[in-house]
Amino acid sequence: MTLPNGETPANAMGKNSQEPCGAVLVCGAGVAGIHASSDLSAAGFRVYLVEEGSGIHGDTAQLEKTSPARESIACTMFPKLVECVRDPNIDVFTMSDVIALEKTPGNLKATVRQRPCSTDGGNCAACGEQREDVFDLEIGAVLVTKEGQASFPFPAESTQSSGQQTEKSPGPVFLVHESEDVADTITQASAAAARAMTLLAGARGSLVRTRAYPPERDITDEPPRVGIFVCGCGTDIASVVDLAALVERVRQLPNVVIAKTDVYACAGDGQDRIVEAVAEHRLNRVVIAGCSPHTHESIFRDTLRCAGLNPHLLEMANIRDQCARVHADRPKQATEKAIDLVRMAIGRAAHLASLPEQTVPVKRMALVIGGGIAGMTAALSLADQGFPVRLVEKTSRLGGPTPQIDGDDGETVLAETIKRVQSHLRIRVYLEAVVSKVDGRIGHFTTSITRGSEIHEVKHGVVVVAIGTAGQQSESSGRGQDETVQTQRADREKLARLLRVPLNAEGFFVLAAPELRPVDSVREGVLLCDVPDAAKSIVQASAVAARAASVLSHKEIPVGGMTASVDPQKCISCMTCVHVCPFMAPRVGEHNKSEVQSEVCMGCGTCSAECPAKAITLQNYVDDQILGAIDSLLARDVEKKEFVLTYPEQVGIAPPRWHASQHE
Amino acid sequence: MTDQEPLILAFCCESSAYAAADAAGSMRLEYPDNVRVLRMPCTGKVEIDYILTAFERGVDGVIVAGCPEGDCHFQEGNLRARRRVERAKQLLDEIGLDPDRLEIFNLSSSDGARFAEIAGEMSQRLTKLGPSPLRLDDPTEEQNTEQMARHGDAVPVGEKR
């Protein structure tokens, strides 16, 4: 894409000093548009997502599987789509296009035309009753994706023409570069979002709306009413496991009220059906039999909140990764195993309890490890957005190897970047320093930086890893490289251990989802610029900045509620917990009884397992839940005991709050 | 799984073994279908009580699987788990159950192949050892009553033994 003539809105906007508007128009709701929107929304901006077609998903959703993990695309993408539609800060306009774009002081005004949805072109009698809706949106910047170009007939500025730091006056209409590679497209989308964030940093949070959930139902007095939702994951599970048989069997188990199947439980309509079922059957525990809690637990927890239940009343049985995919040749056995796994989940679910939502304040600082071009770009982008940055470099100078960038002079880009990093007020650089200890988790890490004999302790919200990629560059295998490669490999291994992010067989850090989350490591809050190619790593660095901003712009972050707590009645003051806790969370409190500081507790359960008085419980992993799961697995084919409750009026007993007669 | 095949319960650390099981899934690795995974936050939370309860209820074998030693997500939970497993083995020996029915393994989160291997190894070992003498093909009423009590169901008065 070339820059158009000087009359474009993008250029006209350039150096306006007016207060920007904290809203961004994203054109095209394909995979790029959706990821850019969700990053922007998480970072505190309002997003207007305009799509010419009738739905959000784009071409990517039509792929069946991603490579190399062969994950089902729909399965990994649906949660993102649902998140996007549920997000109160993303307004989705389908069947729409932008018909005018004009400059207002400091901002842009886009005129959007939304066509009526239910018109059948052939049968339309032009009665005029369904009219087009035309409205104006005030925005601070525009992102245009490839799929959005049809709905945005105006020139846009390329985000890729050069290293971003060389552009003095970024215009507010950015084009997202898309390729056929899904991961690359998402990285580009996040990078474009980072540019908009930098431009509108002053307006962050000015237009956000908070999500409203229905009030949480108090289920303390209710007997367990478990609902089971079996997901077919398209054909991934359904083609192996006999879902009908599974539902028929588990329906008979104790405490189960309903059991149903769905094609995709994580899709928007699948989740709506769960919410409806919770209300209809007054469920108070939900079991999802489908995929891994690692990928889908958070979205289903959110579904429970939408249904007015505490998010911790959820249990998942992973019948995809533990049954369908690994026993594909033995459908009968896979079904038997799936029944057992769901049985265990029900046994555990019956004992789940509501846990209060706990949050901790987010440390508004980023730690960047590696002072090469990628690390510096990420640091600058974050610092420009207003976040303080600590940059750690092992050698005595910033820069690293000179980047090879198409059409640009690598050395000039590098020199300018170094100059900007050194003079930036929000960046502090530690040269000849290494990270020696990393504690904590997303939102509140505590890291020790060792420089010679000094140790600096830094509290920060995210970690950006941008260190050399051990010898993955094919062209740099010249003389003297072997030693560098060796040290780099050792550095990577050491850092992998410190950060608890493993390396894969090729020596790269393991990603959370190789295709759909290309810069997020398996550990939340640890972000990666981990490609050998310099130009790509600069784009990755910007994408990392967008992902980091989506964490750092929150004031508080939930800690999951899974912490240990002490029953002072049972505590015998033996101090075992104080000795065994690796994080020093328990301390001696009132009356010499132990108490666990919930903001320090990481929820490993060591203290509760070691406590000789059984005074400590780890919430969400209490004995009854674990033993309940074991019991259910082994007590096979126990007939369901009908538990019929009748409340004859003449006896004069008031029915409890959860009884159906109270809700008619 | 037929009744002749062993039933194995695996206590899997959420951050390593459970993720490795997921990895085995996305790699479509085939392994024996008699392992039932129970997710734990860390093997450091696996109490001897849980292991013994599992045997008492009739599983043929128990796997405790956590992070590689020195690499525990919670620093030393897996070392504590190892000590407890050793103690539990002694107890199993005392009551006449083969201690080989219980084993602890360490593997990293990306190691799906190792997870499949462990499942194969334990399955083979337990097939050799045969079904647990504590396994009840037909759960007695006593066990039913106990289970119902745990589920909070009403236990009929006078029928409790």
- Measured CA to CA, the distance from residue A551 to residue A335 in angstroms comes to 40
Q: pLDDT band at A18, cuts 50/70/90?
A: low
CB atoms within 10 A of CB A210: 7
- Measured CA to CA, the distance from residue A658 to residue A83 in angstroms comes to 31
Condensed to tens digits (0 to 9), the pLDDT of residues A598-621 reads 777 888 899 999 999 999 999 889
Cis peptide before A155 (omega within 30 of 0): no
Which chain A residues touch B109 with a CB distance below 8 Å?
A: 502, 510, 522
Q: What is the pLDDT of residue A654?
A: 57
- B73: which 2 tokens? 């997500």
Q: Which amino acid is at B76?
A: E
- A582: which 2 tokens? 């690796």
Terminal Cα distance for chain B, rounded = 33
Q: Which of A210-214, A367-371, A392-396, B57-61 has the lowest mean pLDDT?
A: A210-214
Which chain A residues touch B60 with a CB distance below 8 Å?
A: none
Q: Determine the distance in angstroms separating the CA of A83 from the nearest CA of chain B, rounded to an integer.
A: 23
Helix (H) or strand (E) holding A451: strand A444-451
Answer for the pair A585, A637: CB distance below 8 angstroms, yes or no. Answer: no
CB atoms within 10 A of CB A138: 16
Residue holding tokens 């994951």? A233
- Measured CA to CA, the distance from residue A350 to residue A659 in angstroms comes to 18
Reduced to 3 DSSP states, what percent helix, strand and coil does chain A have, rounded to the nearest 5?
A: 35, 20, 45
State pTM to two decimals: 0.75
Q: pLDDT band at A275, cuts 50/70/90?
A: very high
Terminal Cα distance for chain A, rounded = 62
Percent of chain A with pLDDT over 70: 81
Q: pLDDT band at A162, cuts 50/70/90?
A: very low
Q: Determine the distance in angstroms separating the CA of B116 from the nearest CA of chain A, rounded to an integer.
A: 9
Which chain A residues touch B139 with a CB distance below 8 Å?
A: 634-638
Which chain A residues touch B79 with a CB distance below 8 Å?
A: none
Which chain A residues touch B141 with a CB distance below 8 Å?
A: none
What burial letters (b/e) apply to A269-308, b meaning 16+ CB within 10 Å? Answer: ebbeebbebbeeebbbbbbbbbbbbbbbbbbbbbbbbbbe
Mutate to test the interface with B, among A253, A322, A576 (most CBs of B within 10 A): A322
Answer for the pair A560, A314: CB distance below 8 angstroms, yes or no. Answer: no
Condensed to tens digits (0 to 9), the pLDDT of residues A31-80 reads 889 999 999 999 999 999 998 887 777 776 666 565 555 566 666 677 78
Q: Which of A333-337, A563-567, A595-599 has the lowest mean pLDDT?
A: A595-599
- Measured CA to CA, the distance from residue A84 to residue A92 in angstroms comes to 8
Q: What is the pLDDT of residue A61?
A: 66
Q: What is the pLDDT of residue A71?
A: 60
Q: pLDDT band at A252, cuts 50/70/90?
A: confident
Which chain A residues touch B39 with a CB distance below 8 Å?
A: 293
- Span A493-498, mean pLDDT? 87
Condensed to tens digits (0 to 9), the pLDDT of residues A496-537 reads 888 878 787 778 888 877 777 889 887 888 999 888 888 888
Q: Which of A114-118, A257-261, B75-79, B149-153 has the lowest mean pLDDT?
A: B149-153
Query: What is the pLDDT of chain A when averaged over all its residues?
Result: 82
Q: What is the pLDDT of residue A118?
A: 60
Condensed to tens digits (0 to 9), the pLDDT of residues A73-127 reads 666 677 788 888 888 899 988 888 888 888 777 688 888 888 876 655 566 666 6
Long-range contacts of A203-206 (CB under 8 A, 24+ apart): A203/A19, A203/A20, A203/A21, A203/A22, A203/A45, A203/A140, A204/A22, A204/A43, A204/A44, A204/A45, A204/A385, A204/A386, A204/A553, A205/A22, A205/A44, A205/A553, A206/A21, A206/A22
Q: Considering CB atoms only, which of B24, B139, B146 is closest to A636?
A: B139
| DSSP secondary structure string for all residues of A600-618 | T-----HHHHH-TT--EEE
Q: Which amino acid is at A346?
A: I
CB atoms within 10 A of CB A187: 29
- Span A557-572, mean pLDDT? 85
- Measured CA to CA, the distance from residue A440 to residue A559 in angstroms comes to 11
- Tell me A84's DSSP state: H
Over 90: is that where the pLDDT of A245 sits?
A: yes
Q: What is the pLDDT of residue B2?
A: 46
Number of helices (H), then strands (E), belonging to chain B: the values are: 5, 4
3-state secondary structure of A31: helix
Percent of chain A with pLDDT over 90: 41
Q: What is the pLDDT of residue A2?
A: 32
Over 70: is that where the pLDDT of A319 sits?
A: yes
CB contact under 8 A, A582 and B37: no
Nearest CA in chain B to A498: B71
CB contact under 8 A, B73 and A500: yes
Higher pLDDT, A465 or B158: A465
Q: Which residues pair with A8 in a beta bridge?
A: none
Q: Considering CB atoms only, which of A255, A510, A604 is closest to B77?
A: A604
Q: Determine the distance in angstroms separating the CA of A250 from the nearest CA of chain B, rounded to an integer.
A: 15
Condensed to tens digits (0 to 9), the pLDDT of residues B92-124 reads 999 999 999 999 999 988 889 999 999 999 999
Over 50: is that where the pLDDT of A545 sits?
A: yes
Q: pLDDT band at B157, cuts 50/70/90?
A: very low
Q: Which of A115-124, A442-451, B143-152 has the lowest mean pLDDT?
A: B143-152
Q: What is the pLDDT of residue A146?
A: 83
CB contact under 8 A, A602 and B74: yes
Q: What is the pLDDT of residue A663?
A: 55
- Measured CA to CA, the distance from residue A206 to residue A202 in angstroms comes to 9
CB contact under 8 A, A633 and B31: no
Task: Name the range with the highest mean pLDDT among A150-164, A207-221, A278-292, A530-544.
Answer: A278-292
Q: Considering CB atoms only, which of A255, A497, A606 is closest to B77?
A: A606
| DSSP secondary structure string for all residues of A291-309 | S-HHHHHHHHHHHHHHTTS
CB contact under 8 A, B116 and A328: no
CB contact under 8 A, B152 and A624: no
Answer for the pair A268, A85: CB distance below 8 angstroms, yes or no. Answer: yes
Q: Determine the distance in angstroms separating the CA of A480 from the nearest CA of chain B, rounded to an integer.
A: 32
Over 70: is that where the pLDDT of A14 sits?
A: no
Q: Considering CB atoms only, which of A330, A621, A633 is closest to B33?
A: A330
Q: Which residues pair with B11 in a beta bridge?
A: B38, B64
Query: In terms of C-beta density within 10 A (0-12 exposed, 13-18 middle, 19 or more buried), how is residue A426 classed?
Result: middle
Q: pLDDT band at B148, cuts 50/70/90?
A: low
- Measured CA to CA, the distance from residue B85 to residue A83 in angstroms comes to 42
CA distances to A92, A207, A268, A359, A661 from A87, in Å: 10, 13, 13, 20, 35
Q: What is the pLDDT of residue A17?
A: 46
CB contact under 8 A, A627 and B50: yes
Q: What is the pLDDT of residue A535?
A: 82
Residue holding tokens 């729909």? A74
Q: Which amino acid is at A481?
A: Q
- How many interface pairs between A and B have CB atoms less than 8 angstroms apart? 168
Give the distance, in angstroms, between the CA of residue B46 and the centroid of all CA atoms in the same chain: 10
Q: pLDDT band at B72, cuts 50/70/90?
A: confident
- Span A548-574, mean pLDDT? 88
Q: What is the pLDDT of residue A403?
A: 67
Condensed to tens digits (0 to 9), the pLDDT of residues A300-315 reads 999 999 999 999 999 9
Q: What is the pLDDT of residue B154?
A: 46
Q: Which of A385-399, A410-424, B1-15, B129-143 has the lowest mean pLDDT?
A: B129-143
Q: pLDDT band at B149, cuts 50/70/90?
A: low
Helix (H) or strand (E) holding A104: strand A96-104
Which chain B residues touch A328 with a CB distance below 8 Å?
A: 28, 30
Q: Determine the distance in angstroms separating the CA of B31 from the nearest CA of chain A, rounded to an integer.
A: 6
Over 60: is that where the pLDDT of A653 sits?
A: no
User: CB within 8 A of B138, min separation 6: which ones?
Assistant: none
